[in-house]
Homo-oligomer: A and B are copies of this chain.
Amino acid sequence: MIKTELGTLRRSHYSNELNPSMDGLEVTIMGWVLTIRGHGNISFATIRDKNGDIPIVAKKGDCPDELREKLSILKAHSSIAITGRIKSSEKAPTGFEIIPSELRVFSDVEKIPPFEPLAKTVKNIDTRLEVRPIDLRRKTLQHIFNARSQVLKSIRDYFYQQNFIEINTPKMIATATEGGAALFPIFYYNKEAFLAQSPQLYKEQLIMSFEKVFEIAPIFRAEPSRTNRHLAEAISVDLEEAFVDYNDVMNRIEDIIKIAIVTVSDYAKNNSDVEFIIPSKPEHIPRYSYDELIEKMQKAGAKTEWGDDLYPSNLKKIGVEGFYFIKDWPLGPKPFYVKDSKTNPKISESFDLMFGDLELSSGSTRIEKRHELEERMKNKGMKTDAFEYHLGAFDYGVPPHAGCGIGLERLIMALTGTENIRDVTFYPRDVDRLTP
């Protein structure tokens, strides 16, 4: 009888811990069946674990018949353990194979998956998302998410080295941060509430006491868009800092981008089959003013005026590419908390970080004085009463401060050359998709 329970059996080695010099050693490996080929009295299998692949050769006479027979009829993706001896072999690409003496089949697969585990690309992303857990077994995605995890680690390491404190702000909130659009309403016990679109107001409050704060957490936006760069639920890397302005925040972002590029490059170096398109590390990320770009666009023949948004088609016309900042945006459309320039009241101390025409981050100097905040809110037709829980903090000495939010998924798209935001998101959420 082939056993089907784990019991006290444990893996002795991961795939990457095995090599031909271990010839004769008994090992226990675990993973899932990548391929099976049977030729009567001999079966070849490749077992994949999270670190790589292991070749198994079950030959009549070398291993129990029952084992060989069961192995030969296993379908791809079955979850198994094999105990056996390592045999160095010049024929095997790894230089060794495993001669099995025991097999356990934890989960037998009956269904044929809608695509091959070795498929590099699968045309229809919805087909893949429907079976996301096995889609994620494909190497392409394995590499993206492993690199993503490393990028998160190195960004947090940067924050800790720079003496930022990690915060967690509430995701269930009473009022909209930016004024009301694109919110998901919740039933909060017997009250109406909303999912937070950003930790904006809370992180601003927290710099009063902690000065340098960061949060990496989900944000929720009821985006009606069906594009390759929008999600209803995304991870935002937020930072906020007291006693600095937007220039200092751009410096921080520059640091973070450089660190993230090094992290992804190192990951690619250590994994030979990675096919990322990694941007080269910029010496310095250029900072164009909005005015400057509008002027360039006009000179390049674009029909655009001061106050217009900077459209991708016009950005292409003037040939800006790679990472760059657009700073000093017109104040008008900016949220109420964004500070105006002290030299020109029509513009704001704000910036976007771009990668080509993809916006990765938005930041600004914030207003620290209550009366200025209230004036801005009134001009925007916002009810200051509803924000008293926030404005109240400004009665007690809020310092000058600035900050930004970086869209993690878009950053990973830029770092790996991934075109669809869904491919850098474990379980994407959008207007059409709430499962799996």
Binding site for B on A (CB under 8 A): 4-7, 10-11, 30-33, 49-50, 77-79, 81, 106-111, 113, 130-134, 136-137, 141-142, 145-146, 148-149, 152-153, 156, 160, 165-174, 184-189, 191, 193, 195, 202, 205-206, 208-212, 217-218, 220, 222, 232-233, 235, 242-245, 342, 368-370, 389-390, 392-400, 426-427, 429, 431, 434-436
Find A426's partner among B141, B169, B392 (CB 8 Å cutoff): B169
On whether A174 and B400 interact (CB within 8 A), knowing A133-B205, A188-B184, A394-B107, the answer reads no
For residue A152, which residues in chain B have a CB less than 8 angstroms away from its CB?
A: 166
Q: Are B109 and A397 in contact (CB under 8 A)?
A: yes
How far, in whole Å, are A222 and B172 apart by their CA atoms in the complex? 11
How far, in whole Å, are A399 and B390 apart by their CA atoms in the complex? 48
Secondary structure of the A side of the interface?
Answer: mixed
How far, in whole Å, are A399 and B110 apart by their CA atoms in the complex? 15
How far, in whole Å, are A244 and B211 apart by their CA atoms in the complex? 43
Q: List 26 A-B contacts (CB under 8 A).
A: A31-B399, A32-B397, A32-B399, A50-B212, A79-B397, A107-B398, A108-B397, A113-B396, A131-B396, A133-B208, A133-B396, A133-B398, A141-B209, A145-B165, A146-B210, A167-B426, A170-B429, A171-B171, A171-B220, A174-B435, A184-B187, A185-B187, A186-B195, A188-B434, A193-B434, A202-B426
How far, in whole Å, are A390 and B435 apart by their CA atoms in the complex? 9
Q: Which 7 A-B pairs have the closest CB atoms?
A: A389-B436, A6-B400, A136-B209, A79-B397, A133-B205, A79-B399, A77-B397
Q: Are B218 and A168 in contact (CB under 8 A)?
A: yes
Q: Are A168 and B220 in contact (CB under 8 A)?
A: no
For residue A398, which residues in chain B have a CB less than 8 angstroms away from its CB?
A: 79, 106-107, 133
For residue A133, which residues in chain B have a CB less than 8 angstroms away from its CB?
A: 205-206, 208-209, 393, 396, 398
Q: Are A208 and B146 in contact (CB under 8 A)?
A: no
On whether A169 and B78 interact (CB within 8 A), knowing A110-B395, A184-B187, A186-B184, the answer reads no
Q: Are B399 and A368 in contact (CB under 8 A)?
A: no
For residue A81, which residues in chain B have a CB less than 8 angstroms away from its CB?
A: 243
For residue A427, which residues in chain B have a CB less than 8 angstroms away from its CB?
A: 169-170, 202
For residue A191, which residues in chain B have a CB less than 8 angstroms away from its CB?
A: 434
Q: Are A396 and B218 in contact (CB under 8 A)?
A: no
For residue A435, which residues in chain B have a CB less than 8 angstroms away from its CB?
A: 173-174, 389
Q: How far is the CB of A117 from chain B (nearest CB, A)?
A: 10
Q: Are B210 and A136 in contact (CB under 8 A)?
A: yes
On whether A243 and B210 interact (CB within 8 A), knowing A160-B153, A389-B435, the answer reads no
For residue A397, which residues in chain B have a CB less than 8 angstroms away from its CB?
A: 32-33, 77-79, 106-109
For residue A390, which residues in chain B have a CB less than 8 angstroms away from its CB?
A: 436
How far, in whole Å, are A188 and B106 apart by their CA atoms in the complex? 37
**Interface core residue of A79, A145, A398 (most chain B CB under 10 Å):** A79
Q: Are B174 and A434 in contact (CB under 8 A)?
A: yes
For residue A370, which residues in chain B have a CB less than 8 angstroms away from its CB?
A: 107
Q: How far is the CB of A33 from chain B (nearest CB, A)?
A: 7
For residue A145, which residues in chain B have a CB less than 8 angstroms away from its CB?
A: 165, 167, 210
Q: Are A208 and B396 in contact (CB under 8 A)?
A: no
A190's nearest neighbour on chain B, judged by CB, is: B431
For residue A193, which residues in chain B have a CB less than 8 angstroms away from its CB?
A: 434
How far, in whole Å, are A6 and B248 apart by their CA atoms in the complex? 12
For residue A232, which residues in chain B have a CB less than 8 angstroms away from its CB?
A: 172, 188-189
A104's nearest neighbour on chain B, judged by CB, is: B400
Find A209's partner among B142, B149, B172 (CB 8 Å cutoff): B142
How far, in whole Å, are A208 and B174 apart by their CA atoms in the complex? 38
How far, in whole Å, are A195 and B186 apart by their CA atoms in the complex? 9
Q: How far is the CB of A370 from chain B (nearest CB, A)?
A: 8
Q: Are B218 and A393 in contact (CB under 8 A)?
A: no
How far, in whole Å, are A146 and B209 apart by their CA atoms in the complex? 11
Q: How far is the CB of A401 from chain B (nearest CB, A)?
A: 9
